[in-house]
Amino acid sequence: MSYQTYTEFKQIMDKLELIEAMLIKLTAGKESLKDEELLDNGDMCALLGVTKRTLQRYRQKGVVPYYMMKGKPYYKVGEVRDSLKRITKDNYYNYKFRKK
């Protein structure tokens, strides 16, 4: 793997870890954001600190689970948090310990 690819991968992992930390921080002390609560695109973008286009890419790549209702995507807070935790850990270990 080239240095540039490694650097790009590291930047993506750092961003995912930052998003995970923000999501945990925002949902930890708030009674209003329960694991089963559904958020729309705007709310999830604000919560994760990403644009609508980035959130769309996350949906397309399967990074965040979502539900379609009347043509609009909705997200369960707990499922997104769990997915981000799993993805950051899996990707880190798959990259770090992958045999060439």
* SS3 state at 38: strand
Q: Distance between CA atoms of 63 and 83, rounded to whole angstroms?
A: 7
pLDDT tens for residues 26-46?
A: 666 555 556 678 899 998 888
Q: Residue 12 carries which side chain, given as an amino acid letter?
A: I
CATH of residue 85: 1.10.10
Which pLDDT value is given to residue 99? 45
- Domain of 55? 3-96
Write down the pTM of the prediction: 0.58
Number of structural domains in the chain: 1
Q: Distance between CA atoms of 29 and 27, rounded to whole angstroms?
A: 6
pLDDT tens for residues 73-85?
A: 999 988 888 887 7
Structure-block tokens of residue 5: 């690819």
